[in-house]
Amino acid sequence: MISITIDNLVKRFGSQVALDGVSFRIEPGEIFFLLGPSGCGKTTLLRNIAGFYIPESGRVLFGEEDVTRLPPHLRNTGMMFQSYALWPHMTVAKNVAFGLEERKVAPREIQRRVQEALDSVRMGPYADRKIAQLSGGQQQRVALARALVIRPRALLLDEPLSNLDAKLRLEMRTEIRRVCKEFGLTAIYVTHDQKEALSISDRMAILESGRIAQIGAPDEVYRRPRSKVVADFIGETNFVPGEITEIADGVAVVTTGIGRFRGMVTDDSWKPAPGDKASLSVRPECWAFREGASGENVAVGRIGDAVYLGEVAQYQFVSAGQALKIFELNPRLSARPADRDLCACVAQEDVVVLRP
């Protein structure tokens, strides 16, 4: 296991700055995700770590070794791509063996390590099959075995599950995390799928315009976003504009068009004062309907629309002209009338106060 350190990395393409002074450290054995909207720099960052791009300035360290200008084949990283990049004319075993043959490993050792890698991803019985005879999920397992067989210092994954259907994606999420932890691999994973990141990662970084917007554990980033960009990208949320009327010890009272709300200021670099504009972020699942509720952290309104999805109902709740999303687990739709006012409440710790 190795750590990976990104130190003030800058990468340009002509006049466009793709990475603007990016710095962070990935701990040994950590599964670290890079997320963000299209064009934010996540794939560019992964390619700098892999050695496909050379930055204008900054460093990439594997442990204590500076690999910034090393070519990819000398970094000893395993790579999984969005396209499986498998050779269709070769068998499964030959695909997995390719990297070892290029490294001039002895034939008997190749055979042993290929079988070991295929067994680790539960593809041992398929060693003699051609790639065209495999399903998409099986092909992705072969690609994972090929990345593992060289015993890489780190595993780099570039949206590896995006070509799979929903059921296979769920299966492979679990498999990738299991294999990484079993082999003690430091892994860097690029995706646009928030559920993938939340379910697999140890930590994640959200990128915005070539910079790090936030780094943290999945629950920290989801529950304590530090900006509207992060809150909007990870999951769904309601933004409610307002004005700060009280502030003390990181807790602010914000007056909005739908009521007064007390919540948590999560951006340590922002020092708001009474009179400052703010934006509340409240996740749809954090609201709860309460009869006769009043005071702070309560919105009064009516259900404008409802979608029943079995385990959850999604409501459009209209309060003072603003439409809010509210999710209710194990819903009782008949108990949610649309023709009278309801009270939707939210706990203080579920209200995030952000810069407007």
CB atoms within 10 A of CB 151: 13
Q: Which of 223, 246, 272 is the last residue of a domain?
A: 223
- Tens of pLDDT along 16-36? 999 999 999 999 999 999 999
Residue whose C-alpha is closest to residue 62's, from 26, 30, 34, 96: 26
Is 51 in the same domain as 13?
A: yes
Mapped onto helix, strand or coil, the DSSP state of residue 115 is helix
Q: E strands within the chain?
A: 4-13, 16-26, 31-35, 57-62, 65-66, 77-80, 154-158, 186-190, 203-208, 211-216, 238-248, 251-256, 259-265, 277-282, 288-289, 298-308, 312-319, 322-329, 342-345, 352-354
Is 73 in the same domain as 185?
A: yes
Is 255 in the same domain as 313?
A: yes
pLDDT band for position 335 (50/70/90)? low
> Which CATH number covers residue 247?
2.40.50.100
Residue 230 maps to a domain? no
Domain hosting 157: range is: 4-223
Is 138 in the same domain as 265?
A: no
Distance CA 23, CA 156 (A): 18
State the average pLDDT over residues 335-355. Answer: 90
Is 277 in the same domain as 318?
A: yes
- Tens of pLDDT along 173-220? 888 898 899 889 999 999 988 889 999 999 999 999 999 999 999 999
In the prediction, which pLDDT does 175 show?
86
Provide the domain count of the chain.
Answer: 2
Q: Which of 158, 189, 223 is the last residue of a domain?
A: 223
With 0-12 CB in 10 A as exposed, 13-18 as middle and 19+ as buried, what is 292?
A: exposed
pLDDT band for position 332 (50/70/90)? confident
In the prediction, which pLDDT does 334 show?
62
**Contact in structure between 190 and 52 (CB atoms under 8 Å):** no
Which one-letter amino acid corresponds to residue 351? V
Residue whose C-alpha is closest to residue 227's, from 268, 258, 263: 268
Is 254 in the same domain as 107?
A: no
Is 243 in the same domain as 206?
A: no
Is 211 in the same domain as 248?
A: no
- Tens of pLDDT along 291-329? 888 999 999 999 988 898 888 999 999 999 999 999 999
| Two tokens, residue 126 | 């398929």
Is 211 in the same domain as 295?
A: no
> Which CATH number covers residue 125?
3.40.50.300
Is 208 in the same domain as 321?
A: no
Is 63 in the same domain as 119?
A: yes
Mean per-residue pLDDT of the chain: 93
State the average pLDDT over residues 66-70. Answer: 96
Residue 327 maps to a domain? yes
Distance CA 93, CA 120 (A): 13
CB atoms within 10 A of CB 23: 12
